[in-house]
Structures are given as structure tokens and as C-alpha cells.
Amino acid sequence: METARPVERRHSVCSAYNHAPLQAARTDKKVTAMEYAYQLAILFCIYSMLGISLNLVVGYTGLLSSTHAAFYGIGAYATAITLTAYGVNFFAGVALGIVISAGIALAIGIVLNRFSGDYYAIVSLGFNVIAYSVMLNWHELTRGPLGIPGISRPSVYRLDFSSNFMFLVLSVLFLVAVWLISRFIAMSSFGRVLKGIREDEAATQAFGYNTLYFKLAIFVVSASMAAVAGSVFASYVTFIDPSTFTVMESVFILAIIIFGGLSSLKGSVIGALILVLLPEALRFAGFPASIAAQMRQVIYGATLIILMLFRPQGIFGEFKL
């Protein structure tokens, strides 16, 4: 009988860090510091992609979606399964994750378009719960709570991305691509229609725009970008299980864009930077590990409460929920 690999409960920014072994920790502090910095930078790239893509739906369009961790997980599992079970190239796995996420987002988006406001948020939350349950219980495909180990890092011709530094380079390239696509959307006439939907959907419809089409299209684009982040995450940590893609992960990604600023791509990046570095800063504050884990949650909650009271649009935001 196969022995299950021990699975740690992973929350947000700690997940990839806990899976990245630091072999040099016992011998060379300088190397350890660099590897540590690379890990944080890779996590920053992953959560920046998630924040930017979710901001297109929540910040620019005004739709309070709680589905992002689901599409993040779909991308991760698509890449993990294709790499481990079929030996497919990493980039083919990324493409497959995008296609699957886009297809599911199209179907879910059609349903979500029947709702608005709080009902939209509740239904999207329900989809995340369903997606997590599928990942947890479809043992034949996902291996359930055992997870999928042995996910390889990519290589292209003579470029090998197995080291943390090279994988950081790859992560930055993906982040730049997501940023450029999102900025193009935000600055285009398509983006202006999205903002019109956010401010007054009825008025936007009166100008002849099919708002359902625009909401569906941006939802699919956002889900595809989340899948890319999931693919990068899976290849980086080399092991995934369902506990990474819970509703709480969607809440954390939402916290990133609320903190950094709604309807601001720059805010998404700043929010990811702060919320990725904040837990790691507590590692150096002298708190025991068990207390530091709880302190992170307290700080997240307190920070969001303060922001909602004094700057509800976030640090660089243009829109209030």
C-alpha cells in the first residue's frame, strides 16, 4: 500500500515556503539567505498574478467573486497531472490549465450572470466549495488528500528552471505577461465598459452595451490568469494537495486587492508584496512558531478593519466595495 506523504496544513503565503527545502541551511548562511529571498520573490510573483487577475473582476467590474482559489487549483492540478501522469511539457500543462479553467469559467459565469450583489458573492462562494470538494474526493484523478508529488520544474532546450533563481526568472516573465494583458484591458475601451458596469450597469446597457457579455468575458480572462498562477505554483512547490485551494485562500487573495487597492493593478502588486512579506517578518520578531501563525491572522484581520474604517478603497484604490 502506498505510503501517504505527510501533509502540512498550509495557509496562503506559507504554503510554497513550507514545501521548498533549504539544503544549504546547515552549512552556508549566505546561500540560505539568497534561497530564502528567491522563495519570497517567487511567492510574490504568484500572488501578484492572483491579485491582478481578481482585481479585473472585483475592482474594475464591481463583481464580488469568491471563486479565485478554485481556478488557481484547477491550473495547478491540470499542470501537475499532465506532468506526472503523462510526461507532458510544462508549457503544454499551462495551456491545458488555461483551457480547462476558461471552459469551466464560461459555464459558471453564465450562471453567475443571473445574480448580482450579495447573491453573486454567495453563489461564487458555493462554486469554490464544490471545486474544493471535487479536488478532495476525486481520488482517481487528484489522489485526494494524498496530493500529487513529484511535479517537475520546466526546462526549455538548454534553459533549466530547476534552481530557485531560474524559476524566479520564469515567474517574473509570467507576471509581466499577466500585468501587460491586464493593463491593456484596463486602458482599452473594453476596460472603460467594465468600469461603466461597476458604476451603473443600467446606464451602460442604455448606451447599447451587452453587459452580460462583458462580465462573462472578463470572468473567463481572470480565471485563465489564475490558472497560470496555479501552474507556476504547482511546478515550484513540486507537490500539491486540496488544502491549498480552500475558500480561505480565495479570501486571502481578496484581502490582497482590498489592501492594495481596488481597480488598481499597482495596488494588487503592492498588496501582494505586503501580505507576502508580513508573515515572514514575524519569523524574525522572536515569536514562537505556533504564536506567530496566529499573529498573522490577527494582523490580517486588524489591518483590513482599519482599512475599511479609514480607507475602504485600499492604499491605491479607486473604488469602494
pLDDT in tens, 10-38: 444 444 444 443 333 334 455 577 888 89
The pLDDT score that the predictor gives to residue 3 is 41
pLDDT digit string, tens, across residues 81-102? 999 988 888 999 999 999 999 9
314 in Cβ contact with 260 (< 8 Å): yes
Query: Domain range for residue 42?
Result: 33-246
Is the pTM higher than 0.85? The answer reads yes
Position of cell 502540512? Answer: 8
216 in Cβ contact with 54 (< 8 Å): no
d(CA 12, CA 156): 29
Task: Name residue 282's amino acid.
Answer: L
The pLDDT score that the predictor gives to residue 279 is 74
The pLDDT score that the predictor gives to residue 36 is 84
The pLDDT score that the predictor gives to residue 293 is 64
In a domain, 148, yes or no: yes
In a domain, 18, yes or no: no
136 in Cβ contact with 77 (< 8 Å): no
In a domain, 183, yes or no: yes
The pLDDT score that the predictor gives to residue 290 is 67
Per-residue 3-state assignment (H helix, E strand, C coil) for the chain: CCCCCCCCCCCCCHHHHHHCCCHHHHCCHHHHHHHHHHHHHHHHHHHHHHHHHHHHHHCCCCCCCCCHHHHHHHHHHHHHHHHHHCCCCHHHHHHHHHHHHHHHHHHHHHHHCCCCHHHHHHHHHHHHHHHHHHHHHCHHHHCHHHCECCCCCCEECCEECCCHHHHHHHHHHHHHHHHHHHHHHHHCHHHHHHHHHHHHHHHHHHCCCCHHHHHHHHHHHHHHHHHHHHHHHHHHHCCECHHHHCHHHHHHHHHHHHHHCCCCHHHHHHHHHHHHHHHHHHHCCCCCHHHHHHHHHHHHHHHHHHHHHHCCCCCCCCCCC
d(CA 137, CA 28): 42
For the chain, how many structural domains are there in total? 1
In a domain, 291, yes or no: no
- In the chain, which stretches have pLDDT less than 50? 1-28
d(CA 93, CA 58): 27
In a domain, 275, yes or no: no
In a domain, 228, yes or no: yes
In a domain, 269, yes or no: no
In a domain, 259, yes or no: no
